[in-house]
Chains A and B, each alone.
Chain A
Amino acid sequence: DTGVSQDPRHKITKRGQNVTFRCDPISEHNRLYWYRQTLGQGPEFLTYFQNEAQLEKSRLLSDRFSAERPKGSFSTLEIQRTEQGDSAMYLCASSLDGGLRPQHFGDGTRLSIL
């Protein structure tokens, strides 16, 4: 169990550029979640995958955001035409099923928009 890994740890980009983040969940975990966390706040849910199926997207996820989880393994989160308001920490978590089973979080990708 190597834990949830996210890449990159930090991303600095200019407004209007596209960015893509990667998340590698714990290998046997079938559920994968993306959250966004702004400074001093709790994480907010963005989207959820069960295996390769994206089953829910938050209203926070505008059409500039897209997420994929091909083959039910790693996941990518892409933001197109980045805006200042996209600056945040993007957290990935995975779990085996749901309910009381804990979600294991990665270190996050911190996005800064210049």
Chain B
Amino acid sequence: AQTVTQSQPEMSVQEAETVTLSCTYDTSENNYYLFWYKQPPSRQMILVIRQEAYKQQNATENRFSVNFQKAAKSFSLKISDSQLGDTAMYFCALIPGTSYGKLTFGQGTILTVHP
């Protein structure tokens, strides 16, 4: 079984600053896929960034980057130059490599970006 833990229920940041959201996970699989999804208020969930566990290089997507520490089973999300539109619930999620694609989600972190 897989577990994903997000220990920060809420975070806030000033516009244009940088914020890091934490995520730890547990899985017995050697290969797996990690994701960060964003769910704005009353809007649909969208993919922010993804990482394959056997790739050492941290993924980046524009202002979003991850710090993947495989040994520590940690997968944090860094948002640079925060924008008001980044205000949302952020979910860390995992798919085991042997799975067809069932996502296991963390509890979520509510991020508020202040002007």
Give A residues with C-beta under 8 Å from B: 3-4, 31, 33, 35, 40-45, 48, 50, 55-56, 91, 93, 95, 97-108
Contact = CB atoms under 8 A, between A and B. Distances in A.
Given A40-B108, A105-B46, A99 B33 contact: yes
Contacts, number: 66
A48 to B, nearest CB: 6
B44 interface: yes
Interface residues of B, number: 25
Contacts of B45: 43, 91, 93, 105
Contacts of A55: 100
A10 B91 CA distance: 23
Contact of A45 (B46, B52, B102): B102
A34 to B, nearest CB: 11
B104 A102 contact: no
A48 B101 CA distance: 9
B106 A42 contact: yes
Contacts of B33: 99-100
Contacts of A103: 47, 101, 103
Contact of A98 (B4, B47, B101, B105): B101
Contacts of A33: 101-103
Nearest to A106: B44
A79 B93 CA distance: 27
B102 A56 contact: yes
